[in-house]
């Protein structure tokens, strides 16, 4: 009496499992089912008011639209900066220095590492390069790096007072720096081997020759797009 019962139970369980599996399968393939079902329907692609027009009127309409398209393209082009501007890709760590019409220089750079430095006691810094449209606020030759607190915490050194001489570091930012505001800069680097990698604390590092050309071409007020 026991044996057939367990056999039946096994069969019923298998059937239920298979049914549930099948329902899940169809549900997961619901997109395919919808695609198959939409084939049964068709929609008239009415030419609307255009249907009543003759070839001459249609040709006129095309040329009128094309004129408007041209005007809109011009309007969009007018939004592009006339003077040289810099575009920085923080994902690929590349830059393009360009004008409206041509690329002046392109190459690799280093941008924010996206490291979140946790010093405990609620003290945290995220080293990322700020995205968006920026302007060059000032240009500096032989820049001096005024080390912020995190630079000492990162090296496990005591944080000195604001104007302490230990805060000032010479030569590490390269020959030039272009300030973007909020402490962010475009500058050179001693770590040329890391160019092309996301290793900075938020600033944009360029190779020596690239930096020289960028410095020469960008003026105060020039636009820098970071994405």
Q: Looking at residues 81 to 120 of the shown chain, list those that interact with another protein (rule: CB under 8 A).
A: 81, 85, 87, 89-92, 113-120
Region 137-176 residues binding another protein, contact defined as CB under 8 A: 153-157
Helices 2-28 & 30-38 angle (0-180, nearest 10)? 60
Dihedral angle sign, alpha carbons of residues 211, 82, 224, 179: positive
Taking the complex as a whole, the smallest distance from the CB of residue 140 to another protein amounts, in Å, to 26
- Indicate whether 17 belongs to the interface with another protein (CB under 8 A): no
Q: Which residue, among 75, 77, 109, 81, has the nearest Cα to 95 in the 3D structure?
A: 109
Q: Which is nearer to another protein, 122 or 141 (CB)?
A: 122
Q: Which stretch binds another protein (CB under 8 A): 73-81, 136-144, 167-175, 201-209?
A: 73-81
Q: Which is nearer to another protein, 76 or 162 (CB)?
A: 76
- Indicate whether 5 belongs to the interface with another protein (CB under 8 A): no
Q: Which residue, among 167, 165, 131, has the nearest Cα to 150 in the 3D structure?
A: 167
- Indicate whether 2 belongs to the interface with another protein (CB under 8 A): no
Q: Which is nearer to another protein, 1 or 79 (CB)?
A: 79
Distance from C-alpha of 155 to C-alpha of 82, rounded to nearest angstrom: 43
3-class secondary-structure state, position 134: strand
Q: Which residue, among 188, 67, 187, has the nearest Cα to 138 in the 3D structure?
A: 187
Residues binding another protein: what is the number (CB under 8 A)?
A: 80
Task: Single out the residue of 17, 69, 146, 220 in contact with another protein (rule: CB under 8 A).
Answer: 69
Task: Give the residue carrying structure tokens 């990322």.
Answer: 128
Task: Single out the residue of 140, 144, 195, 197 in contact with another protein (rule: CB under 8 A).
Answer: 197
Q: Which stretch binds another protein (CB under 8 A): 80-88, 175-183, 201-209, 212-220?
A: 80-88
Task: Single out the residue of 9, 17, 126, 220 in contact with another protein (rule: CB under 8 A).
Answer: 126
Taking the complex as a whole, the smallest distance from the CB of residue 159 to another protein amounts, in Å, to 11
Q: How far is CA 189 from the centre of its chain?
A: 23
* The Cα angle at residue 104 between residues 129 and 135, in degrees rounded to 5: 40
């Amino acid at each position: 009496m026991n044996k057939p019962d367990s056999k039946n139970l096994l069969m019923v369980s298998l059937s239920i499992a298979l049914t549930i599996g099948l329902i899940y399968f169809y549900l997961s393939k619901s997109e395919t089912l919808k695609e198959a079902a939409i084939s049964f329907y068709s929609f008239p692609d009415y030419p609307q008011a255009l249907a009543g027009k003759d070839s001459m009127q249609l040709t006129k309409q095309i040329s009128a639209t094309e004129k408007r398209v041209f005007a809109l393209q011009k309007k969009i082009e007018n939004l592009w900066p006339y003077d040289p501007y810099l575009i920085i890709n923080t994902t690929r760590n590349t830059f393009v220095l360009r004008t409206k019409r041509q690329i002046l220089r392109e190459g690799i750079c280093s941008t924010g590492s996206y490291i979140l430095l946790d010093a405990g006691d609620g003290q945290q810094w995220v080293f990322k390069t700020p995205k968006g449209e920026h302007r060059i606020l000032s240009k500096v030759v032989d820049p001096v790096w005024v080390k912020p607190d995190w630079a000492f915490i990162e090296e496990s050194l005591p944080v000195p007072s604001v104007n302490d001489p230990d805060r000032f570091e010479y030569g590490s930012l390269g020959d030039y720096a272009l300030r973007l505001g909020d402490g962010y800069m475009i500058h050179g680097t001693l770590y040329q081997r890391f160019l092309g990698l996301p290793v900075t604390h938020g600033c944009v590092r360029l190779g020596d020759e690239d930096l020289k050309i960028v410095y020469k071409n960008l003026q105060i007020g020039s636009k820098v797009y970071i994405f």
